[in-house]
C-alpha cells in the first residue's frame, strides 16, 4: 500500500515539475513576444535612439571650394525654409576638405579661404537654427582626399571639435589600412567620451570590403552610433541595388543606438528619375539607415522636396522599434520587404520592381506574417487613405517603382 502511494506521489511530483517547466516556458515565451525592451549599447548610453537624419556636403560638392562659409549658410537656411528641418533633418555636416594642415602645436588648421570665420562660427549658425553640426575626419594620417587625418591626434581633435560645438563626427578609414579597425575606433570612442560632450560617432570605413576586421556591425555597438556597410553610393540605379543588397545582409545587427549606415543619400543629385529616387528613399527608410541628404538643397525641385520630406515615409525610418527591414520573397526581379513597427500588428511592406520592365505582382499578406484581412495606406499616394484588403493585393509597378505600404493587421 505504502509503495503504491509512494509511486503515485513520485509520479505526481514528476508531472507537476514537467507542468511547471512547460508553463514557465510559455510565460517566458509570451513575455518575450509581448514586451519590447530597447537594447542599450554596452559602454555608453545610446545617443542615436533613432537613425540620425541630416545633410552632408560630400555627394554633391566633393572637395569643391563651392562649398564654403557662404554656401553652407545658404544650405542651412534652405533646410529650414523647405521644411526639411521640421521633417527631422537635424545634423548638418561638412565632409572632407575643410582642413588644410596641422600646426606645430598639433592643432588642425581650417582652410581660411573657404571658412574665414572658422568652424565654430558655422556650428553656432547651425545651433541658432535649432539643428546640430557635424564634421569629418579620417582615423589615418591622411583623409581620403589626402588632407591631414587625425591619427595620433584623436584626443586633441575631439577636444577641438567639442570646443567648436560639434555634435556629430564621421570618421573615415583612409591612410591607415595597416592598423586594426576595432582598436582605432575604440580610441575614438574613448577620446569623445573624455570631452564630456555628447557627439555622435559615425564609423565610415570607405573601402570596407577590402579591410581586415571589417565586420563593424558586430563590434560597433557601444562604441559608435552608426557604421557604413558598403563602399560609397553613386547616383545610378544599379548602385542603389548594390548597396541595399549588401546592407540588408547585416539587418540582424542593427538596433537602437547602433545603426547600419547604407551611406549618404543621392536623392536629388540628378542621376536618376523620380521613381528611382522614391525607391531609394523608401529603401533607406525601410533599412533604418541614417537619412543624410546629399544634394544641393538650394536647387531642389518641388518633387524632390516632396520625396525628402514625406513624413509618413520618414516615420517608417524613425519607428521606435528600430528594426531593419528584411526581404521576405523575391520573384522575377520583384522583391517584398517587410519591417515590423512598434505598434503591434503594424508593418511597413514594400514591393520593389528592380527591373527595367513593368511588372505585375500578387502581394500576399501571409508573407508579412499577418492574417488575410488587413488595412493599409499607400505612403506615396497623393492622399494616402486606409483601405481594406483580403488575402492579397494585385500590384502593378513601373520600372524601378516601389509600392510602400503601412499595414495594420493581426499577427498570424
Residues assigned a catalytic role: 172, 232
Candidates 64, 125, 131, 53; CA nearest to 96 is 64
Phi, psi values for residue 18, rounded to 5°: -60, -45
Cα separation, 297 vs 16, in Å, equals 68
Q: Residue 69 or 96: which CB sits closer to ligand GAL? A: 96
Cα separation, 183 vs 153, in Å, equals 15
Q: Which residue is nearest to ligand GAL (CB)?
A: 206
Angle (nearest 5°) at CA 265 between 52 and 43: 30
* Greatest extent of the chain over all pairs of C-alpha atoms, in Å: 102
Cα separation, 87 vs 345, in Å, equals 25
Cα separation, 211 vs 224, in Å, equals 18
Q: Residue 89 or 136: which CB sits closer to ligand GAL? A: 136
Q: Residue 144 or 251: which CB sits closer to ligand GAL? A: 144
Q: Residue 175 or 258: which CB sits closer to ligand GAL? A: 175
Task: Name the residues that contact ligand GAL, by CB under 6 A.
Answer: 58, 95-96, 136, 143-145, 172, 174, 204, 206, 232
SS3 282: helix
Min separation Cβ 221 and ligand GAL, Å: 21
Min separation Cβ 176 and ligand GAL, Å: 12
Min separation Cβ 174 and ligand GAL, Å: 6
User: Are the C-beta atoms of 171 and 185 separated by less than 8 Å?
Assistant: yes
Min separation Cβ 97 and ligand GAL, Å: 7
For β-strands 132-138 and 168-172, DSSP reports them as: parallel
Candidates 163, 156, 177; CA nearest to 121 is 163
Amino acid at each position: 500500500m505504502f509503495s503504491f502511494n509512494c509511486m503515485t506521489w513520485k509520479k505526481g511530483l514528476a508531472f507537476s515539475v514537467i507542468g511547471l517547466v512547460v508553463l514557465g516556458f510559455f510565460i517566458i515565451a509570451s513575455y518575450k513576444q509581448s514586451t519590447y525592451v530597447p537594447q542599450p549599447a554596452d559602454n555608453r548610453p545610446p545617443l542615436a535612439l533613432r537613425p540620425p537624419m541630416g545633410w552632408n556636403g560630400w555627394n554633391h560638392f566633393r572637395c569643391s571650394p563651392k562649398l564654403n562659409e557662404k554656401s553652407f549658410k545658404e544650405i542651412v537656411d534652405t533646410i529650414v525654409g523647405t521644411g526639411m528641418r521640421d521633417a527631422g533633418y537635424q545634423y548638418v555636416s561638412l565632409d572632407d576638405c575643410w582642413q588644410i594642415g596641422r600646426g606645430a602645436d598639433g592643432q588642425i588648421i581650417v582652410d581660411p579661404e573657404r571658412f574665414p570665420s572658422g568652424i565654430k562660427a558655422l556650428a553656432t549658425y547651425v545651433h541658432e537654427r535649432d539643428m546640430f553640426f557635424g564634421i569629418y575626419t579620417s582615423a589615418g594620417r591622411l583623409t581620403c582626399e589626402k588632407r591631414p587625418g587625425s591619427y595620433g591626434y584623436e584626443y586633441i581633435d575631439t577636444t577641438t571639435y567639442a570646443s567648436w560645438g560639434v555634435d556629430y563626427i564621421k570618421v573615415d578609414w583612409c591612410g591607415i589600412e595597416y592598423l586594426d579597425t576595432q582598436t582605432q575606433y575604440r580610441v575614438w570612442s574613448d577620446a569623445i567620451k573624455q570631452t564630456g560632450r555628447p557627439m555622435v560617432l559615425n564609423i565610415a570605413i570607405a573601402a570596407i570590403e577590402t579591410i581586415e576586421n571589417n565586420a563593424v556591425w558586430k563590434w560597433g555597438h557601444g562604441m559608435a552610433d552608426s557604421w557604413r556597410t558598403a563602399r560609397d553610393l553613386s547616383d545610378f540605379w544599379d548602385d542603389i541595388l548594390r548597396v541595399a543588397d549588401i546592407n540588408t545582409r547585416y539587418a540582424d545587427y542593427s538596433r537602437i543606438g547602433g545603426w547600419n549606415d547604407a551611406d549618404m543619400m543621392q536623392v536629388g543629385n540628378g542621376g536618376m528619375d523620380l521613381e528611382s529616387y522614391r525607391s531609394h528613399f523608401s529603401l533607406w527608410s525601410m533599412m533604418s539607415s541614417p537619412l543624410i541628404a546629399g544634394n544641393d538643397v538650394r536647387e531642389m525641385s518641388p518633387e524632390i522636396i516632396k520625396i525628402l520630406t514625406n513624413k509618413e515615409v520618414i516615420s517608417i525610418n524613425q519607428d521606435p522599434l528600430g528594426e531593419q527591414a528584411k526581404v521576405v520573397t523575391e520573384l522575377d526581379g520583384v522583391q517584398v520587404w517587410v519591417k515590423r513597427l512598434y505598434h503591434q500588428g503594424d508593418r511597413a511592406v514594400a514591393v520593389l520592381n528592380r527591373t527595367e520592365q513593368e511588372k505585375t505582382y500578387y502581394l500576399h499578406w501571409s508573407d508579412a506574417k499577418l492574417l488575410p484581412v488587413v488595412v493599409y495606406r499607400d505612403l506615396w499616394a497623393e492622399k494616402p487613405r486606409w483601405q481594406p484588403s483580403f488575402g492579397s493585393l494585385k500590384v502593378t509597378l513601373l520600372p524601378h517603382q516601389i509600392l510602400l505600404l503601412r499595414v495594420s493587421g493581426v499577427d498570424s
